[in-house]
Chain A
Amino acid sequence: AQKITQTQPGMFVQEKEAVTLDCTYDTSDPSYGLFWYKQPSSGEMIFLIYQGSYDQQNATEGRYSLNFQKARKSANLVISASQLGDSAMYFCAMREGLSDYKLSFGAGTTVTVRA
């Protein structure tokens, strides 16, 4: 079974609008963490935001926020006020447990921001 599911292969968004990228996860471990990474066309993986399973508040980092719904096992990324530079592939990832910390990745969502 897939640990991370990203159902949107591609999305278009108008500049200055907000966009929500979906991510659902599957784990039986009570301790886990969820990550979002951005991968521009140049290929590097840029860490955006992290949410721990015990965190009470939704994580925010600048224009990025994570809509964490634990009961639904979803961790959607919201990008507010989209910019042309936000055009990239976005990956959701999860670490499980409190040892090793390896990440399992989803298939990614390509975001294209239109002027």
Chain B
Amino acid sequence: EPEVTQTPSHQVTQMGQEVILRCVPISNHLYFYWYRQILGQKVEFLVSFYNNEISEKSEIFDDQFSVERPDGSNFTLKIRSTKLEDSAMYFCASTQGTRLSYEQYFGPGTRLTVT
């Protein structure tokens, strides 16, 4: 069964460093997302991506964040200068976005720890 994959599973970085989180969405999906979940809290939307551009972003997704789809398969989230409060689980998700299939599938997540 196709699945969303994410690498790395865990990333530890120092405050102020840049990190890139990687995702491979399901191949025939058209919409891609990043969400984050601070430990013990609910899942929060960061950004959605469609047709090679950002379609919506939350107030969390400030200038420190960027997304890219550098080729036909990868989807990346970059945090330019990490802060302690960026420590969270980051989930990539994708959906076909058609009337027949609105299900949104999540990757296993990348746990980011900023020290």
Chain A residues within 8 Å of B, Cβ to Cβ: 33, 35, 37, 43-47, 50, 52, 91, 93, 95, 99-108
Distance to closest chain A CB from B1 (angstroms): 11
The interface residues of chain B, by DSSP majority, are classed as strand
Q: How many A-B residue pairs have CB under 8 A?
A: 60
B57: nearest chain-A partner, CB-CB:
A102
The complex places the Cα of A50 from the Cα of B95 at a distance, in Å, of 13
The interface residues of chain A, by DSSP majority, are classed as strand
The complex places the Cα of A99 from the Cα of B93 at a distance, in Å, of 16
Binds A, one of B12-20, B66-74, B98-106: B98-106
Contacts of B41 in A (CB 8 A): 107
Chain B residues within 8 Å of A, Cβ to Cβ: 31, 33, 35, 41-45, 48, 50, 55-56, 89, 91, 93, 95, 97, 102-109, 111
